[in-house]
Amino acid sequence: MIVHAPGDIADKINADFGGYDNFIEQLKNAGLTQFGSGWAWLVMKNNTLEIMKTSNADTPIAHGFKPLLTVDVWEHAYYLDYQNDRAGYLDVFFNNLVNWEFVNSNLV
């Protein structure tokens, strides 16, 4: 199942990433390539959406970015349900767990 972002965030995703699928691909790649414990983020800086990743307890706020959405890729977030299948966990997260209403509320 592919879920597309609704509301104002959809327009920003299309403008800054060229579409929802490209956005998800980049965010998923950030989650998959985060070595060890950390996070993949959708952030805003200077009115532009960007993808970033942080290790351990680091936060985009410390780097001047406004966090809009994050996915926990620490092993404890998915290991009991997905074992070593971080990609499967990320698919479920993006298709079923993102609260787009909350993401839209963070835009303001």
Say which residue, 23 or 83, is predicted with more confidence.
Answer: 23
Q: Which three-class secondary structure state does DSSP give residue 53?
A: strand
State the average pLDDT for the chain: 90
CATH superfamily of 8-106: Iron/manganese superoxide dismutase, C-terminal domain (3.55.40.20)
Write down the domain spans for the chain: 8-106
Query: 19 pLDDT exceeds 80?
Result: yes
Q: How far apart are CA 16 and CA 59, in angstroms?
A: 22
